[in-house]
Structure 1
Amino acid sequence: MLEPNQTLWLAMGIVAAIVGGYALTSLFLLRFPTLLHRKKQLKFCCKHISHRGGMAEGLENTIGTFQHAVDLGTDMLELDVQLSQDGIVVVSHDNEIKRTTGADIKISDTKFADLPPLHTHQEVTFLNALPVCFPDATDRSFCRLRDVFEKFPAVVINIDIKNDDDELIAKVGEMIHEYKREAITVCGSRLDTVAHKFHQQHPDIPLFFSAKRVVQLVLLFYSGLLPFIPLKESCLEVVMPSIVWGERWADTVPTKYKVLARVVDFLLMSKVLIRHLDRRGIHTYLWVINNDADFERAFSLGAKGVMTDY
């Protein structure tokens, strides 16, 4: 029969062996994830992604700005969708469109044909605090998602569904299938409820991580559980937090938020995490990058591509 101190040492040894074995297995599978998971096979790899079509060079989310980006060779168009009062899937970041049109109305309360023209000057959120003016903009109209699909049938498109609206979610998925764009469309939402509903209805369409799932991803990574867990998403699209202490917000963001951004940056911008995802066939896209230093850092971290306003 073992003495009490011997029992304690035996228990500690067993715990150490279990923990050590778990850690070693986790590290091994972090390096070789395809031993457990089938690697995702996306049909595209996009280095340059035009945020809202490239809103520093044209009015955001318009056919004219999308065409400009495509003409310059962008790899992917990123856009946002809302649902109008008459059930049209409208390409717009905001539902309340005072920022872009000056009209104090909502897309959801307005028929598509009654939407007003866009301002010729708009603030570029991730560029500077002053509005950028496009006095010669020939296209000042809201467009339908259908218009984008018809105009750019072979261009990879990233769709952010902005609202938890069952009709909107269903129509976006149905339209992707209608135009046979399953292989060249990424879809999702920052809202986890929206992303979950969309994936349930359309599991064959590549999905990007919701905000909640990004938090879960980080927790799984630092707990060592990530290599064991299957992931439904195909793209990690996250802000590169270091842009918060760059020129754009240097004098406007309170110090406490800059400190928080540095903590998030340390946890999220991990080369090991991004490399692991890449080995599982999951692309990492960082946003919104608008200067050379940030471009360089994003790619040095292992990002497949960057979203930019240029």
Structure 2
Amino acid sequence: AMSPLLYYALPALGGYIMLSIFFLRRPRLLHTPWVPAFCPRLGAHRGGSGERLENTMEAMENAMALRADFLELDCQLTKDGVVVVSHDKNLLRQSGLNKEVSSLDFENLPLYKEELEVYFSPGHFAHGSDRHMVRLEDLFRRFPRTPMSVEVKGENEELIHKIAGLVRCFDRSEITVWASEKSSVMQKCKAANPEMPFSFTLSRAFWMLLLYYVGLLPFIPIPEKFVFSFLPTIINRTYFPFSCPGLNQLAAMVSKWFIMRKSLIRHLEGRGIQVIFWCLNEESDFDVAFGLGATGVITDYPTALRRYLDNHRT
């Protein structure tokens, strides 16, 4: 005979699973969706670092000419307290000078190299006539209504507060997104300007996936407004997070199984949380991302993504 525990537990478990699936598919029954100020279909990675030298004003101008919906940026702080748009803390890769951005005043920053390898398209190089590093303030002034995501990599409170202040000064809190992989950094960002929408950190993304797989996600409030996620199919092809090919293959397989879930993306989108995949540079990857239901894509080649979007109007 069935034990009393199983007698009650099995129907309860079945009911819980049915309820979870029901609300996963109908998120608006439990949550009022956030209404975003913008819908980014085409995001330019470092301004479109496959077509012009990364993070230069020329790259940003090129992306905007291609009707980019938002610009993806990383910021560093110079010795004299200027917020500059730069992916690296150290200038060696991009400028050939083995010094930290923070060790130089803004006026002494070196020019970018004449050509730079495109990080997510190994073997491809970008060129441009503009080789100057740019201040975040200049970008805000040049593109006052263009949405941007600003990634902060280190726990530099002065940098965070200066970014927050510039965003307020240019009245663009609604269209500037905090991004960071580290939750400790994100806490400081949110405290510095809580009006700015913010994205999932790595630990919060793992937590969100766990909630999804145990069926609790539909019942839990989510304060984040953006998911900036890599697309697992680019691992071992254009993105190599590990030096060992075997580990990259394993990471591609495991992350593909965990992340590429249409029901998850549809649920997040139904709650107004925008899912953006990076950094995709080939049409086959655009197909996969939009096929999963993503809001948009971040690319090094805005020309290719613009052509794709114009040919696949949805």
Question: TM range, normalised to the smaller chain?
Answer: over 0.9
Confirm or deny that 1:230 pairs with 2:224: no
Matches within 5 A, 1:249-268: 254-268=245-259
Identify which of 103, 109, 130 aligns with 2:103: 109
Name the structure 1 match of 2:88. Answer: 94
- In the TM superposition, what is the alpha-carbon distance from 1:303 to its structure 2 partner? 0.6
Moved over 4 A (4+): none
Q: Determine if contact 1:78/1:157 at 8 Å carries over to the other structure.
A: yes
Name the structure 1 match of 2:169. Answer: 178
Name the aligned partner's letter for residue 285 of structure 2.
Answer: D
- In the TM superposition, what is the alpha-carbon distance from 1:65 to its structure 2 partner? 0.7
Identify which of 111, 116, 122 aligns with 1:122: 116
Q: Determine if contact 1:164/1:191 at 8 Å carries over to the other structure.
A: no
Name the aligned partner's letter for residue 284 of structure 1.
Answer: V
Name the structure 2 match of 1:243. Answer: 234
| Mapped partners of 2:239, 2:145: distance in 1 | 34
Name the structure 1 match of 2:11. Answer: 17
Name the structure 1 match of 2:151. Answer: 160
Name the structure 2 match of 1:299. Answer: 290
- In the TM superposition, what is the alpha-carbon distance from 1:272 to its structure 2 partner? 0.7
Name the structure 2 match of 1:41. Answer: 35
Name the structure 2 match of 1:207. Answer: 198
Name the aligned partner's letter for residue 259 of structure 2.
Answer: L
Identify which of 183, 188, 197 aligns with 2:188: 197
Give unpaired runs (5+ residues) of structure 1: none
Residues 201, 230 of structure 1: CA spacing in aligned structure 2 closer, same or farther, 3 A cutoff?
A: farther
| Mapped partners of 2:255, 2:239: distance in 1 | 18
Name the structure 1 match of 2:210. Answer: 219
Give CA-to-partner distance per residue, 1:49-98, whole Å, 9 cap, x none.
10000000011011111011101211111111011111111100000010
Name the structure 2 match of 1:26. Answer: 20
Q: Which is worse superposed, 160-169 or 299-308?
A: 160-169
Name the structure 1 match of 2:64. Answer: 70
| Mapped partners of 1:209, 1:247: distance in 2 | 23
Identify which of 52, 77, 82 aligns with 2:76: 82
| Mapped partners of 2:238, 2:155: distance in 1 | 34
CA RMSD of aligned residues (A): 1.6
Name the structure 1 match of 2:264. Answer: 273
* Identical-residue share of aligned pairs (%): 37
Q: Determine if contact 2:33/2:271 at 8 Å carries over to the other structure.
A: yes
- In the TM superposition, what is the alpha-carbon distance from 1:133 to its structure 2 partner? 4.5
Identify which of 142, 160, 164 aligns with 2:133: 142
Q: Determine if contact 1:84/1:90 at 8 Å carries over to the other structure.
A: yes
Return the TM-score normalized by structure 1: 0.92
Question: In the comparison of the two structures, how many residue pairs are matched?
Answer: 299
